[in-house]
Amino acid sequence: MSKRIFLDGKFVDHDDARISVFDHGYLYGDGVFEGIRAYSGRIFRLQAHVDRLFSSAKTLMLQIPYTKEKMTELIVEACRVNGLQDAYIRVVVSRGAGDLGLDPTKCPKPTVVVIADSIALYPESLYRSGLTVCTSSIRRQRAEALNPQIKSLNYLNSILAKIEANQRGCQEVVMLSEEGFVAECSADNIFIVRGRKLLTPAPHLGILLGITRDAVMDVARAAGYDVVETTFTRHEMWNADEVFLTGTAAEIVSVVSIDERVVGNGKPGPVAAELQAAFRELAKRDGAAI
Ligand SMILES: Cc1ncc(COP(=O)(O)O)c(C=O)c1O
């Protein structure tokens, strides 16, 4: 059965889901998006995703033509009409069609798209073996240039870093803040483990405030770990007991090699496994019912 995609006010067939080449989302990356997961009939932290979508849009002065409540309903509906209980949902709000200049005031109507589908970011084998990552020469951009807290359609900063990862045969890439502290990966947040302590880069380092990051901090604290949002260097990352990444698409995935240094004993560690299990339990019961 062809996927039904929400586009500009109605659900249409996959092949009919087309947008204008004059859409400034396409011409300039002018827009915002969310990636959301549903597990066993529940959409994980849906409210947090909708809130972040509206915050990103507010900063860009992009008026989403729905209330938060309506947007929430549309996301649930996108899963329902496609008969999905486990899903990856992509919500995109772009500036809409305008002229060839970049002036957003020339775009009278934002384009709203909701796609409910599935995703496998990494093959299952990588969850068992762990990822090999490297540090990018591309720094996370500073908040005064383009705040990484805005989940915008312009991902070139991450894509440039990802190209380096590909060239070096790595599955992900660590990006540093302008000052050289560990910030995050191209599409995931990062945690390092030292005994019963978890460190993750603080918001001011230029990171997306990941919703999985938040959930992992919750489950880790509930499991008795001391979780600290702070600054740390590559030296501390290389010498951690464990390193793992978090994101809606990736969930929780261990890193076993960074910049050709073996992390811990070179295998996914017990803390990441414990938190992954706790996260999966949380995802089963937490979230809006489809
Ligand atoms: C740059 C970046 N950091 C972190 C994340 C993880 O965020 P979340 O857990 O909300 O998916 C993402 C997700 O797309 C991302 O693009």
Whether 277 and 135 share a structural domain: yes
Whether 153 and 259 share a structural domain: yes
pLDDT exceeds cutoff 80 at 55: yes
Q: What is the pLDDT of residues 83-136, one digit of tens each?
A: 999 999 999 999 999 999 999 999 999 999 999 998 777 888 999 999 999 999
Spatial separation of the C-alpha atoms in residues 94 and 202, rounded to whole Å: 29
Whether 43 and 185 share a structural domain: no
Our answer on whether the CB atom of 278 is closer than 6 Å to any ligand 1 atom is no
Helix (H) or strand (E) holding 98: none
Spatial separation of the C-alpha atoms in residues 30 and 103, rounded to whole Å: 10
Q: Token pair of 115, please? A: 């796609």
Using pLDDT thresholds of 50, 70 and 90, give the confidence band for residue 59. Answer: very high
Task: Report DSSP state, residue 173.
Answer: E
Mutate to test the pocket of ligand 1, among 47, 208, 209, 282 (most ligand atoms within 8 A of CB): 208
Which position among 70, 151, 197, 267 bears the catalytic label? 151
Q: Which of 68, 98, 117 finishes a domain? A: 117
Task: Report DSSP state, residue 106.
Answer: G
85 alpha carbon to ligand 1 midpoint, in Å?
22
Whether 80 and 138 share a structural domain: no
Whether 14 and 88 share a structural domain: yes
Q: What was the pLDDT predicted at 12?
A: 98
CB 97 within 8 A of CB 110: no
93 alpha carbon to ligand 1 midpoint, in Å?
17
Q: What is the average pLDDT score of the chain?
A: 96
Whether 51 and 174 share a structural domain: no
Whether 97 and 151 share a structural domain: no
Q: Which of 191, 206, 211 is nearest to 254 (CA)?
A: 191
Our answer on whether the CB atom of 158 is closer than 6 Å to any ligand 1 atom is yes
Domain membership flag for residue 102: yes
148 alpha carbon to ligand 1 midpoint, in Å?
10
CB 258 within 8 A of CB 282: no
Whether 104 and 133 share a structural domain: no
Percentage of the chain exceeding pLDDT 70: 100
Q: Which of 96, 117, 138 finishes a domain? A: 117
Domain membership flag for residue 156: yes
Whether 136 and 57 share a structural domain: no
Domain membership flag for residue 38: yes
Whether 52 and 108 share a structural domain: yes
CB 268 within 8 A of CB 129: yes
Q: Which of 66, 100, 117 finishes a domain? A: 117
Spatial separation of the C-alpha atoms in residues 2 and 239, rounded to whole Å: 49
The CATH number of residue 211's host domain is 3.20.10.10
Using pLDDT thresholds of 50, 70 and 90, give the confidence band for residue 273. Answer: very high
Q: Token pair of 184, please? A: 């995050």
Q: What was the pLDDT predicted at 1?
A: 67
Q: What was the pLDDT predicted at 120?
A: 77
- The CA–CA distances, whole Å, from 150 to 52, 53, 179, 191, 246 equal 8, 8, 20, 21, 18
Helix (H) or strand (E) holding 261: strand 261-262
Our answer on whether the CB atom of 23 is closer than 6 Å to any ligand 1 atom is no
Positive or negative, the Cα torsion across 64, 157, 272, 267? positive
| Strand, helix or coil for residue 286 | coil
Annotated active-site residue 151? The verdict is: yes
Nearest CA to ligand 1 atom 1: 187
Domain membership flag for residue 290: no
3-state secondary structure 29-91: CCEEEEEEEEECCEECCHHHHHHHHHHHHHHCCCCCCCCHHHHHHHHHHHHHHCCCCCEEEEE
Our answer on whether the CB atom of 211 is closer than 6 Å to any ligand 1 atom is yes
Q: Which of 35, 17, 19 is nearest to 155 (CA)?
A: 35
Q: How far is CA 76 from the centre of its chain?
A: 19
33 alpha carbon to ligand 1 midpoint, in Å?
11
Q: What is the pLDDT of residues 165-207, one digit of tens each?
A: 999 999 999 999 999 999 999 999 999 999 999 999 999 998 9
**How many structural domains comprise the chain?**
2
Please compute the mean of the pLDDT values over residues 10-22 and round it to a whole number. Answer: 97
The CATH number of residue 105's host domain is 3.30.470.10
Domain membership flag for residue 190: yes
Q: What was the pLDDT predicted at 119?
A: 79
Domain membership flag for residue 82: yes
CB 64 within 8 A of CB 50: no
Q: What was the pLDDT predicted at 88?
A: 96
Task: Report DSSP state, residue 125.
Answer: H
Domain around 35? 4-117
Q: What was the pLDDT predicted at 78?
A: 98
Whether 170 and 102 share a structural domain: no
Whether 198 and 100 share a structural domain: no
